[in-house]
Structure 1
Amino acid sequence: MRNFASRHPGWSIVILLVAAALIWSIFAIWPKGLVDVIGRKKVFLNALFNGITLGGLYFLVASGFTLIFGLMRNVNLAHGSLYLLGGYIGYFVASSTGYWLLAFPVAFVLVAAVGILMQIFIFRRMEGQDLRQTLVTIGISIVMADLMLWGFGGDFYNITPPSWLSGPMETLLVTGVKRSSGDLIYLKYPVVRVVIFLASVVIGIAMWLILNRTQIGMMIRAGVDDRDMLSATGARIQLVFVGVFAFGAGLAGIAGVVGGTFQSVAPGEDIRFLLASLVVVIVGGMGSITGAALGALLIGLAEQFGSVYFPTYAVVLTFLIMVLVLAFRPQGLMGRS
């Protein structure tokens, strides 16, 4: 934390101010003037919590994408198809066995296996050829979308969480209007979304520690910067890259299960989450786990607040953030200069 503050003093101040404003908005009694401008506090906080948990989902998808695209420089535009495949696998595993948690490891393993095949038979043969990778993976995504439509149909599937995660969690808050007594109200929020968001935080911290504090993380970063030099030391760089690609694809599979629990699994979700991953990586910075987390949080909040306060321009708000980042910091908020 001290290293981050010393290297990014401006961002540290901005983060502290935003955190203080969020804490105040949650726990303080809103003055009537603020209620007149923003609206009911309950609506605002619902949009806030929905944006944060949606950001957790976007992070799970984009973290795998930033490993493959940002670190390994592999342009995998079939990443959204891996997400959708994981969602379908998770639905049928959870519905056939009755075990929601079992859907996560099964989706991770099967989608990671698809990622291994893609790395060995496609990306290894086209290293450094961005245009070929783009065109080939677009074709793969179209083929996978048609195969999934043929195999699973065009219906919407929802993955049902276990009963202990199905109910709402009540949070004690104060009313949005300042009164002498400060009436107390309760905000109900789904427990499953809170649990999944916390799990995404744990996964993000673990990924950051592996990439920045372990030997295999140093090998991955060294292999990206100078593959030939790392190979000369005797490291099996291709095996490392296959493992990274498999892990990134597996994260997309896990995100598919999460998305099917949050919302639903249906045709077209692959394109939506591919675009979301691209925006998150561009905003946060290529190859940065911290940037992916920050970008996912910003995009999730922009979508939810946009849908509540600017429903006509919700999509425009998301891409406006990307345009502003590209204009003033093209490498992304946490990308290397």
Structure 2
Amino acid sequence: MTQLVLEQALNGLQFGLMLFLLAAGLTLVFGIMDCINLAHGSLYMVGAYFVAAAAQAADSFWLGLGAGIAGTAVLGLLLELSLFRQLYRRDHLSQVLATFALILIANESVRLIWGPAPLLLNPPAALSGPVEIAGFFYPAYRLVIIGVGLVVAALLYLLVAKSRIGMWVRAGAANREMTEALGINVRGLFTAVFVFGAALCALAGGLLGPLLAVQVGMGESVLILAFVVIIIGGIGSIRGALVGALIVGTVDTLGRALLPTLLRATLPADAAATLGPALASILIYLLMAAILFFKPQGLFPARA
């Protein structure tokens, strides 16, 4: 049982760090630009497709990952310049409708280009085997994902909390009008943040591609979890996004792995197999409700 808990805790850490890559860009776009971008998950999907297609063409996972991140960043730049600059001045209803339309356009575009079948993305051959940790074997590729997530989280902390650009970002999140009055190019800052968020989406999609199916519509479910993360952590807060992502990733993974096993001790096997996944799927939403009851603005609100 201890080995199962440790293994699932590592899985939860890996999943939480990938959620952080998605939630970091989303919380900055929402917190700084006050723009609800439902198409953020579509950038994750398109990024995964770009990485998979480039990796197959180059016969190299790492070259494909770099090319996919660059391609998604360019796509994010084009979207920001052509569409989102118009949406910043609109109300939230207009933003929701426009970005929901982007989801449909992205899904159909991917289906037309790559077809309805999932696209194959294999991890690097050197990382395909397991390594031994504390007496049990764990996939080496998942450890690499954890390492990449931790490095990106540390770099984001240094960028947002310790650099001049981060100071501008935090100032823009706190008071856009005052930031513009101080001579900061908020429009250029918005563009850079949006492109950076798109690149993080591609990084998450490319790293998770070998573990999950690279398929049409893969961004919708993860988008819901990303919104849960930023609501728990606090809109506009990078620290909140990291803490919220780790909480959601760990609770979701441990809940799906352990609840059915625990329920079998008190319920028939069939009932436990049915009730366990159902309870696990709503566990993070109950957690979100409980946190918001005591902290309505999230754990680490940006404007605190």
State the TM-score, normalized to the length of structure 1.
0.80
Please give the per-residue CA displacement for 1:88-145, whole angstroms capped at 9, x wherever unaligned. Answer: 1111111221211112221222111221222222222232522211110011111111
Aligned to 1:146: 108
Aligned to 1:236: 185
Aligned residue pairs, count: 285
User: Do residues 114 (structure 1) and 63 (structure 2) align?
Assistant: no
Give the AA of the match of 1:102.
L
Aligned to 2:41: 80
Please give the per-residue CA displacement for 1:278-325, whole angstroms capped at 9, x wherever unaligned. Answer: 011111111111111111111111221121222231111121111112
Please give the per-residue CA displacement for 1:39-66, whole angstroms capped at 9, x wherever unaligned. Answer: x222222211111111111111111211
CA distance in 1: counterparts of 2:42 and 2:137, whole angstroms: 33
CA distance in 2: counterparts of 1:47 and 1:169, whole angstroms: 15
Q: What displacement does 1:79 show?
A: 0.4
Is the 1:71–1:286 contact (alpha carbons within 8 Å) kept by the matching residues of 2? Answer: no
Q: Which residue among 106, 116, 132 is the counterpart of 2:94?
A: 132
User: Do residues 318 (structure 1) and 284 (structure 2) align?
Assistant: yes
Q: Which residue among 283, 286, 294 is the counterpart of 2:243?
A: 294
Deviates more, 1:261-270 or 1:292-301: 261-270
SS of 1:91 mapped into structure 2: helix
State the TM-score, normalized to the length of structure 2.
0.89
Q: Following superposition of structure 1 onto structure 2, how do residues 13-52 of structure 1 map, counting pairs within 5 Å? A: 40-52=1-13
Give the AA of the match of 1:269.
M
SS of 1:122 mapped into structure 2: helix
Q: What displacement does 1:253 show?
A: 1.1
> Gaps (5+ residues) in structure 1?
1-39, 173-185
Q: What displacement does 1:71 show?
A: 2.9
Aligned to 1:267: 216
SS of 2:253 mapped into structure 1: helix
Is the 2:153–2:242 contact (alpha carbons within 8 Å) kept by the matching residues of 1? Answer: yes
- Larger CA Rg, structure 1 vs 2: 1
User: Do residues 156 (structure 1) and 118 (structure 2) align?
Assistant: yes
CA distance in 1: counterparts of 2:234 and 2:120, whole angstroms: 32
Report the RMSD for the aligned CA atoms in angstroms: 1.6
Is the 1:158–1:263 contact (alpha carbons within 8 Å) kept by the matching residues of 2? Answer: no
SS of 1:188 mapped into structure 2: strand
> Gaps (5+ residues) in structure 2?
260-276
Deviates more, 1:242-251 or 1:213-222: 213-222
Aligned to 1:285: 234
Is the 2:51–2:69 contact (alpha carbons within 8 Å) kept by the matching residues of 1? Answer: no
% identical aligned pairs: 35
